[in-house]
Each structure stands twice: as structure tokens, then as C-alpha cells.
């Protein structure tokens, strides 16, 4: 699934195998949605798709696993900031390669304390960071 149109279609139809739904793929989808829709609309598409894929993959939504609203919003804000600052890439895969810092899953630790990001409040709804502001 290297072609962006095919990859986005697979996301929109919830047809991404569990072993191929990793952090980089989340970033690719975020990039593709943010280059096609305004932020709030991209977030709605991303949120719905991730939740649907989680269900299809049998990922139970509990207080410690499953969909996490704050992480979703924060990651989309980071990807959007990179697009604003550096522009669009040739493809979603190129975007990920051009911005390896986004490949560090724990980058949100720069913005959130563990206590805040792991809170039930942060999982259920977006909370602003407590260490430094997101772009």
C-alpha cells in the first residue's frame, strides 16, 4: 500500500491489516487527511477511521488501551505544524521520511507529563498539554 490514494482508500474502508497499522501508517493517514481537508474535518475523518479500525482489529477500548483523543489531536496538530512550516511532500511516505522526528512515538512527552497524558480525562477528550504548548 505505497500509493497514497490506495492507502487512504484502505484507511477509509477500514481495510488496513493489524500488522500494517503502526505509528508510521497513522502519520501517513494524518498527512493525507490534512492535505485534503481543513483541520477539523481531517480530525473527524481520522478519529472515525481509527476507532473503526480498532474495532475491526479487536482492540478493546479500556481505560489503558484503545482510542485516545488527546494523543490523536496532538499528533494531528504536530503533523499540521510540519506541513505549515515545511510544505507538502511528494507523498505521505516521503513526508514521514522527511520528518523522522515524528517517527519518535514518545515525542508527546515534550508537551505532556505522564500523569496528564495517561489520565482518563485525556483519553476520553482532548486536554491541553501541561509542559509546553502544542503548535
Q: Could you tell me the residue ranges of all domains in the chain?
A: 4-124
Phi/psi region, residue 14 (left: phi>0; alpha: psi -120 to 50; beta: rest), is: left
d(CA 61, CA 41): 23
d(CA 120, CA 113): 14
Q: Per-residue pLDDT tens, the chain, 135 aa: give them.
A: 569 999 999 999 999 999 999 999 999 999 999 999 999 999 999 999 999 999 999 998 888 889 999 999 999 999 999 999 999 999 999 999 999 999 998 999 999 999 999 999 999 999 999 999 999
Give the three cell numbers for residue 27. Answer: 502519520
Amino acid at each position: 500500500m505505497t500509493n497514497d490514494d490506495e492507502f487512504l482508500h484502505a484507511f477509509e474502508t477500514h481495510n488496513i491489516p493489524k500488522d500494517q497499522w503502526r505509528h508510521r501508517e497513522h502519520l501517513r493517514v494524518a498527512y493525507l487527511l490534512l492535505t485534503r481537508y481543513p483541520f477539523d474535518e481531517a480530525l473527524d475523518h481520522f478519529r472515525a477511521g481509527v476507532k473503526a479500525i480498532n474495532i475491526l482489529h479487536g482492540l478493546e477500548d479500556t481505560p489503558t488501551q484503545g482510542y485516545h483523543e488527546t494523543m490523536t489531536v496532538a499528533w494531528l496538530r504536530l503533523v499540521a505544524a510540519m506541513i505549515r512550516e515545511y510544505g507538502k511532500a511528494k507523498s505521505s511516505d516521503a513526508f514521514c521520511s522527511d520528518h523522522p522526528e515524528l517517527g519518535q512515538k514518545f515525542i508527546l512527552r515534550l508537551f505532556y507529563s505522564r500523569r496528564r497524558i495517561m489520565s482518563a480525562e485525556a483519553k476520553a477528550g482532548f486536554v491541553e498539554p501541561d509542559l509546553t504548548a502544542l503548535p
